[in-house]
Amino acid sequence: MINEKMRMLGAKRSVIRELFEYGKQRKAEIGYDNVYDFSLGNPSVPAPKEVNEGIKKLIESESSLALHGYTSAQGDASVREAIADYINKNYDAGVRADCIYMSVGAAAALTSTLTALVNEGEEVIVLSPYFPEYKVFIEKCGGVVREVRCDDRLMPDIPAIEKAINEKTAAIIVNSPNNPTGAIYPEGIIASLCDLLRRSSEKIGHPIYLISDEPYRELAYDGVKVPYLTKFYDNTIVCYSFSKSLSIPGERIGYALVSPSCEDFISVYQAICGAGRALGYVCAPSMLQKLIPLCLGVTSDISIYDRNRQILLEKLSEYGFDMVRPQGAFYLFIKSPSGDATEFCERAKKHEILIVASDDFGCPGYARLSYCVTTEQIERALPAFKALAESYKE
Amino acid sequence: MINEKMRMLGAKRSVIRELFEYGKQRKAEIGYDNVYDFSLGNPSVPAPKEVNEGIKKLIESESSLALHGYTSAQGDASVREAIADYINKNYDAGVRADCIYMSVGAAAALTSTLTALVNEGEEVIVLSPYFPEYKVFIEKCGGVVREVRCDDRLMPDIPAIEKAINEKTAAIIVNSPNNPTGAIYPEGIIASLCDLLRRSSEKIGHPIYLISDEPYRELAYDGVKVPYLTKFYDNTIVCYSFSKSLSIPGERIGYALVSPSCEDFISVYQAICGAGRALGYVCAPSMLQKLIPLCLGVTSDISIYDRNRQILLEKLSEYGFDMVRPQGAFYLFIKSPSGDATEFCERAKKHEILIVASDDFGCPGYARLSYCVTTEQIERALPAFKALAESYKE
């Protein structure tokens, strides 16, 4: 018996994890500092002091039963109130506490939202390149992945999305700042996309939900603002995580937020609660929930990622690598000089540089470089990048 | 669109929650101390001091990135090692760290295990009365619930289970100490059940998995030992939670453990990992994982529950209520004097006693009383119980 699909998912490591494991082994062989590992999107900047101070404060001030006991399934009411206030202060989005469902990280927010909105055989549009787990999550709830390539600037290709929409389209996932490209979609493109979604929903006779996956919202550089999508489109569900902004990815705390203007608000919110329940999410970790109001508006030191980005952009361009300037997250999406992603990554490996081939992101010909590493590692790696570039000129 | 099943699950509160909400309102009306709320299975005894002390110690001794960063999907290796050692020391069960998958509580262990083992249309046997969420979890992964009534002593009815087994039987869920009855299944009954499962597996040509849901393992009284099921049956998966033993139900930390003797061990373990991934469980909360080795063998003060149990058993029997003496968990399963569960609970309400009708547990004619409350509440409630009993004699 056993569910064979699940076994396969457990047996097959992702390409990213595979490379990470190779890196661990290689570091043991030739020394930690001699391998330039840019494989994982794991924050390298410590959590801001408010995180550990907040936990200590909670332990000292709250009773054990209140702090470690069940919260309601949708999350502690005062925590959701604080998050709604923060969002309204920053984005003037008019959200309410009862729009928010506290989740065990963004992944749980995504699986609960997809399970709530997608029926067997319905389609979910993803913009390639995209985070590979989207495919796992969509297929788990019986949905069909409909990939639409971004344009050459790595922005949503509106005409291509229009062609992909049909009566079976249930939702589209948007991820800005983007993993793996670092792109931030500007207001103009978001507005065009939302216009299309409105027109198409009308045409096909049911709403197309816009699922905004936002773990990197705070990681934006060059003074760029990340548009708040509920203000552009009523049928929006935001899936947010505190993993990257607070450097606490292991703690699994985030939320799903249903736009208060969503046309079937109560049903959508109830379905997300029901899906969370059916997937086994009793409540999001209680102490971590209560930590959030003490950390809203705080981030770990993002300037370190920005410095890494600037060094890499300057030097890699100088060496002759081709890439679109990323404005957010902590990823650089580099064109393979040979046009072949795997060839590029294998050749990089010979220079002890670990970067991820783009094929698993649903898009050939690139490599993803995660620059959430120390600046020292980047500086140490520069001669290897130079040698890698030169190897293509021989 | 929207998934209607999920909406229903989110819209319909469980009977237990409904009663709890009624209780909150009633307390506001007539005063907290005048309502005798026995509705929820929420620990009332604070966490042992090791929990908060352990958290503080981790914050002071571990780096932020190590403490709050991602662990591997199956959980931190040293945490799993510590748990395996503890189990072997206590139960001589010969388990290994790589048998354990750290989960976001027992609910997540159950949904991951069921998703791993059950294919569309396959059957899972549950012994009624049973925890109502089993039905939600089984149906979510396309399985069919097959209820088998316990006998009059609230023990598994082996001949009835034998009749229920057929070629579609994928698994059976066993929960001892039991919610809602408080029963602990003795070795003799476990041995008979496991004999049956072995014979039946052979007969139908594939393994029937034994899923042991064990959030109440440590809550056993009268010196009773809870048998460790992997020692009785090879194809066992234990779903464990630290929620009740450490009084931290909101923190969501537990594990699934595949018996090292499971006949398709690697596939079963991989399928659980794959299911966890597909459901959106990236890893169990990292700091809570690391807390576990500091708290193994420690429990909150369970003697308080035992005292509550003894007072209730003595007094309720004296008043004429009929119940099987529970030896574990913190529930009393009382026979309705009228034979009708709802009538009993509604009549109890008039005496300001809140207990849950057994119908939602898949078994008519009883009420569940959760005695995880203060001893003072129990003492205050006794005259109301007496009056309730007498109302049936009028």
The per-residue pLDDT for B101 is 98
What average pLDDT does range A288-312 have in this prediction?
97
CB pair distance less than 8 Å for A282 and B105: yes
* Chain B residues near residue A250 by CB distance under 8 angstroms: 67-71, 283, 285-287, 289
Alpha carbons B169 and B229: distance in angstroms, whole number:
19
Q: Which residue in A7, A280, A115, A119 sits closest to B138, CA to CA?
A: A280
pLDDT at position A130 is 97
Share of chain A above pLDDT 70, in %: 100
Query: In angstroms, rounded to a whole number, what is the distance separating the alpha carbons of residues B75 and B85?
Result: 16
pLDDT value of position A199: 98
Asked if B117 and A1 count as a contact pair (C-beta separation under 8 A), the reply is yes
pLDDT at A289 over 90: yes
SS3 at position A213: strand
Q: Which amino acid is at A294?
A: L
Count of CB atoms situated within 10 Å of the CB of A333: 23
Minimal CA separation from B250 to chain A, in Å: 4
Determine if the peptide bond prior to A177 is cis (ω within 30°): yes
Contact A64 B55 (CB under 8 A): no
Query: Per the CB < 8 Å rule, is A281 touching B10?
Result: no
pLDDT at res. B379: 97
Asked if the Cβ–Cβ distance from A279 to B140 is below 8 Å, we say: yes
Give the chain A residue nearest B53 (alpha carbons). Answer: A59
Cis peptide before B177 (omega within 30 of 0): yes
Q: C-alpha dihedral over A357, A359, A364, A366, to 10 degrees? A: -20
Q: What is the mean pLDDT of each run of 10 residues along chain B (394 residues)?
A: 90 82 90 92 92 98 94 94 98 97 98 97 98 96 97 96 98 98 97 98 98 97 96 98 96 98 96 97 97 97 96 97 95 97 97 95 96 95 98 90
Contacts of residue A101, defined as CB under 8 A and 6 or more positions apart, other chains included, come to A74, A75, A109, A112, A255, A256, A257, A258, A269, A272, A273, A276
User: Is residue A3 within 8 Å of A319, Cβ to Cβ?
Assistant: no
The beta-carbon contacts of A155-159 under 8 Å, at least 24 apart in sequence, are A155/A183, A155/A185, A155/A189, A156/A127, A156/A185, A156/A189, A156/A193, A158/A189, A158/A192, A158/A193, A158/A196
pLDDT (0 to 100) of residue B299: 96
Q: Which H or E run includes A170? A: strand A169-174
Instruction: Identify all chain A residues contacting B2, using CB atoms and an 8 Å cutoff.
Output: 116-117, 264, 267-268, 271
Q: What is the DSSP string of B2-46?
A: --HHHHHHHHS--HHHHHHHHHHHHHHHH-GGG-EE-------SP
Question: With 80 as the cut, is the pLDDT of residue A359 above it?
Answer: yes
The whole-number pLDDT of residue A285 equals 97
> Is the CB of residue B298 less than 8 Å from the CB of residue B243?
no
Residue B86: half-sphere exposure toward Cβ, Cα within 13 Å: 14
Q: The tokens of B162 are what?
A: 């034998």
- What band does A177 get if pLDDT is binned at 50, 70 and 90? very high
Kindly write down the DSSP assignment for every residue of A194-209, as one continuous string. HHHHHHHHHHHTSPPE
Contacts of residue B8, Cβ cutoff 8 Å, sequence gap at least 6: A274
Cα–Cα distance measured from residue B174 to residue B192, given in angstroms and rounded to the nearest whole number? 13
Which residue does chain A place closest to B205, by CA atoms? A1
Mean pLDDT, rounded, of chain A:
96
Instruction: Give the count of Cβ contacts less than 8 A between chain A and B.
Output: 253
User: ipTM above 0.90?
Assistant: yes
Sign of CA dihedral B85, B91, B92, B94: negative
Structure tokens at A29: 């062989």
Q: Using 50, 70 and 90 to split pLDDT, how confident is the model at A301? A: very high
Q: According to the model, what pLDDT value does residue A21 have?
A: 83
Q: Provide the pairing of β-strand A254-258 with A236-241.
A: antiparallel
How far is residue B56 CA from its own chain's centroid? Answer: 29
- CB-based contact B104 A104, cutoff 8 Å: yes
Q: How sure is the predictor about A235, in pLDDT bands with cuts at 50, 70 and 90?
A: very high
Pick among B4, B5, B7 to test the A interface (most A CBs inside 10 A): B7
Q: Residue A250 in contact with residue A256, Cβ under 8 Å?
A: no
pLDDT band of A20, cuts 50, 70, 90 = confident
| Among chain A residues, CA nearest to B58 | A52
Q: Which residue has the tokens 């090791």?
A: B50
Closest CA to A235 of A254, A257, A204, A203: A257
A229 pLDDT higher than 80: yes
Contact yes or no for B137 and A278 at CB 8 A: yes
**What is the distance between the alpha carbons of residues B316 and B71, in angstroms, rounded to a whole number?**
49
A-chain residues near B275 (CB < 8 A):
3, 6, 9-10
Q: Which of B51, B107, B122 sits opposite A282 (nearest CB)?
A: B107
Using a CB-CB distance cutoff of 8 angstroms, which residues of chain B are in contact with residue A6?
115-116, 271-272, 274-275, 278
- Phi and psi torsions of B337, nearest 5°: -60, -25
User: pLDDT (tens digit, 9 = 90+) per residue, A143-163?
Assistant: 999 999 999 999 999 999 999
Q: Is residue B162 exposed (0-12), middle (13-18) or buried (19+ Cβ within 10 Å)?
A: middle
Q: What is the 3-state secondary structure (H, E, C) of B266-298?
A: HHHHHHHHHHHHHHCCCCCCHHHHHHHHHHCCC
A10–B47: do the CB atoms touch at under 8 Å?
no
Q: What pLDDT is attached to residue A394?
A: 79
Residue A10 and residue B65: Cβ atoms within 8 Å?
Answer: no
pLDDT confidence bin for A102, thresholds 50/70/90: very high
A241 contacts on B by Cβ (under 8 Å):
none
